[in-house]
Chains A and B, each alone.
Chain A
Amino acid sequence: GQQVMQIPQYQHVQEGEDFTTYCNSSTTLSNIQWYKQRPGGHPVFLIQLVKSGEVKKQKRLTFQFGEAKKNSSLHITATQTTDVGTYFCAGPEGAQKLVFGQGTRLTINP
C-alpha cells in the first residue's frame, strides 16, 4: 500500500528560528493535506494542496507540493511558542482513506 514518510521525526529550535518538515509519498497523490496536532490534542486541518508545484502561504507558514505530486514541505518562518506541536502530512489512498506520515514533532525553546 501507499506509504508516506516524513522527516525529521523531531526538531527542536530556538524561538525565532525557521523550521521545515518534508513529506514523501511512495505514490503520486491527487492532493496532500497538512494537519497540526498540539500536545494532548487532535489533528487540526491546516491546508490542502492539489496542483503540481503549488505553493500556498498562511502567514508565517509556507506549503509546497512537488512537481511530481509525490512530495511536499511545510516551512515556518520565525517560529513562535504557539507553533509547538506535531505536524502531519496525509495523502489519499483511493477514495477510502487518508494515509498519514509519522509526523514531525516541533519543540521550541523560548
Chain B
Amino acid sequence: DAGVTQSPTHLIKTRGQQVTLRCSPISGHKSVSWYQQVLGQGPQFIFQYYEKEERGRGNFPDRFSARQFPNYSSELNVNALLLGDSALYLCASSGGQGGWDTEAFFGQGTRLTVV
C-alpha cells in the first residue's frame, strides 16, 4: 500500500502569490491533518479534517485554508504569500476517528520557498 503522498515536493513562489498543496492519505484513512515545519522547529498544527469536515484549526491567519474531498484527499491553500511562509508543509493521515489515539503517518512534505 502506498503511504501518504504529497505534491509537489518542492515549490518556489513569489511574495503575494497563492499556492495549493495536495495530499492523498493512506487508503482507508479518513483523517488528514496539515502541519507547518519551519527549519529547526517541531511541526506546528494548521488544520485537521475528518470525513470532509474541519475538526480543528491552529493559530494561523485566514490566508490559510484547506478542504477535504469525498475520496479523503486534501488541499491546503495559502494566499498572499509572505517570506515567513517558507517552510516544510507536512500532511499526516491517521486511521482513527479524528482523535489522536493512533499514530500519525506523515507524507514526505512539500518544501515551499517564498522569494
Binding site for B on A (CB under 8 A): 4, 6, 30-31, 33, 35, 41-45, 48, 88, 90, 92, 94-103
Contacts and interface: CB of A to CB of B under 8 A. Distances in A.
Contact of B42 (A31, A97, A100): A100
Given A45-B103, A45-B105, A97 B41 contact: no
Given A42-B108, A88-B42, A97 B103 contact: no
27 contacts: A30-B100, A30-B101, A31-B101, A33-B100, A33-B104, A42-B106, A42-B107, A42-B109, A43-B90, A43-B104, A43-B106, A45-B103, A45-B104, A45-B105, A48-B102, A48-B103, A88-B43, A92-B101, A95-B98, A95-B100, A96-B48, A97-B33, A97-B56, A98-B33, A98-B45, A102-B41, A102-B42
B16 interface: no
Q: Is the interface of A mostly helix, strand, loop or mixed?
A: strand
From B45, B58, B90, B100, residue with most partner A Cβ within 10 Å: B100
Interface residues of B, number: 26
B8 interface: no
Nearest to A94: B56
Given A92-B99, A95-B99, A97-B100, A44 B42 contact: no
Contact of B90 (A6, A42, A48, A94): A42
A101 B56 CA distance: 19
Nearest to B54: A96
A103 B107 contact: no
Contacts of B101: 30-31, 92
Interface string B15-51: 0000000000000000001010000011111001000
Nearest to A97: B45
